[in-house]
Amino acid sequence: MTRILKLFLLLFTTTVVSQNNDITSKLYETYNTYKETSLGERRIKHTDIQPLIDRLKENSKYTIKKVGQSIEGRDLSLISIGSGKTNVLLWSQMHGDEPTATQAIFDIFNFLNGSEFSDEKEAILSNLTLHFLPMLNPDGAENFTRRNALGVDINRDAVRLESPESKTLKRVRDSLNADFGFNLHDQSIYYNAERTDKPATISYLAPAYNYEKDINTVRGNAMKVIVFMNSIIQKYAPGQVGRYNDDFEPRAFGDNIQKWGTSTILIESGGYKNDVEKQEIRRLNYVSILSAIYSIAKENYKNISIKEYDKIPQNDRKLFDLKILGATYTLLDNNYTIDLGINHLEVDNEDHSDYYNIGKVMDQGDLSTYYGYNTFDASDYRIIEGNIYPKVFKSIKDLSGLDTYELLKSGYTYVQLEELPKDKKYTSLPINLIKAGNKTPKLVLKPGANSTFLLQKNDTIDYAVINGFLINLKTKESHFKNALIYR
């Protein structure tokens, strides 16, 4: 290739990305106009999206078909719009506890129904036909769990096709002979972009279709779209994009759909600081998916080099919710310097509509190669055990006038109650509750242990870690969610 031709292609690609970035900026800035406000938290269920699907049925632009049923009898709907010859299939929530993109899909419907972006929507809908399977595993969503009612991981059922949900996805893909497929997931919030402290807020993958990881035109087109999407996300979450491992998994849908001739793009929604319900990540899904769809409609992706694909850093898993660095810990009268990695594990309530956190030590020792969403340098602090406040209160109502921050400063991390709240395992107060007369759990720092302790410097307690949440006792600043109730 001549130097002049190379320069031309570089300038052409730069122009394409620049033009699409202008559209992307407008999509990002106007997002709240189109956000589906009825879906505001992660634990959405089939009953939450059905009224939204019913509303779409009233719009003649959409074709809505029942294409299957889950094991427990919940309808699987395929929602189609557009008249173009290129078929794009988007499926979400094949894992029931991965709903971020499901929410973004309904934001996209609101965008398509809106009055703005008329030229862009005309380009999309005249060149493409979009097909959405917005909740492939509604039974799993009901219990906010990865697997379906059979206990099967649908994403490992592409060959045997034992589950009805798997059969539906295969049948839909084959009937459309889809040109592009968007395989939409959530991943652990503890993934980071390799060798950085940045969370892998969005991770991409053009799945391999064989063990050799060959790149044909189908897979190559997926890589080109991913390169473009990466350029979009970098604008709003710089350094927070990862590349998922591309080892071939012969049972997985993404790998097989790639093999069956559909250019398949895996999107994994990870973590973003102070975005527990993943609403900013939902916005990034909306922006990047719509931008990618527009690029496919305009066929701009074809001129993007796949060489940039391998430059996206790989996913690593070296993040904690809280990293405490260099604290002094006394064990058997000897002092040790240790780092602590603490995560806020989620425990669902009975109907899986909400959750509480249990803060646990995940690792300790030298954690210099790990990172935290929040990192506290405790090199001047000593870890000390908290005590039970000696006064006994009758019930939680009697704690209304209690200054819990002063108690924490005084070395108390537990309050005694004669009557603990029934059927409740946590409290919104920043101090643990315990049944009067019971002993506190002894502070022994080890992986798997609950993380409640105090940080003392020069005989002054400046910080408390209550159920894994760091509280600045001087400013009362924290991202505290809940403490625990001990019976």
* pLDDT tens for each residue of 12-46: 444 445 556 678 999 999 999 999 999 999 999 99
pLDDT per position as a tens digit, 161-170: 999 999 999 9
Note whether 110 and 157 are within 8 A (CB): no
Residue 4 confidence (pLDDT) = 46
Strands 263-269 and 241-243: unpaired
Residue 441 confidence (pLDDT) = 79
CA 271, 275, 278, 284 torsion-angle sign? negative
- Measured CA to CA in angstroms, residue 94 lies from 83, 148, 168, 266, 383 at distances of 27, 8, 11, 12, 44
Burial 198-237 (b: 16+ CB within 10 A, else e): bbbbbbbbbbbbeeeeeeeebbbbbbbbbbbbbbbbeebb
- Measured CA to CA in angstroms, residue 122 lies from 23, 89, 128, 483 at distances of 14, 18, 10, 52
Helix 100-113 to helix 46-57 angle (10° resolution) is 20
Residue 8 confidence (pLDDT) = 40
Please state, in angstroms and rounded to a whole number, the distance separating the CA atoms of residues 80 and 65.
9
Helix 100-113 to helix 118-127 angle (10° resolution) is 110
Residue 442 confidence (pLDDT) = 85
**pTM as predicted:** 0.93
Longest dimension (CA), the chain: 84
The residues that bridge with 218 in the sheet, in sequence order, are none
Note whether 104 and 282 are within 8 A (CB): yes
Residue 7 confidence (pLDDT) = 45
For residue 252, give every residue at least 6 positions away whose Cβ sits within 8 Å of its Cβ, in sequence order, or none. 155, 156, 158, 207
Question: What φ, ψ does residue 32 adopt, rounded to 5°?
Answer: -65, -20
Q: Which domains are delineated in the chain?
A: 13-316 (3.40.630.10), 319-486 (2.30.40.10)
> How long is the chain?
487
Residue 22 confidence (pLDDT) = 74
- Measured CA to CA in angstroms, residue 206 lies from 33, 256, 329 at distances of 31, 12, 46
Which residues of the chain carry a pLDDT beneath 50?
1-2, 4-16
Residue 1 confidence (pLDDT) = 47
R_g (Cα) of the chain, nearest Å: 25
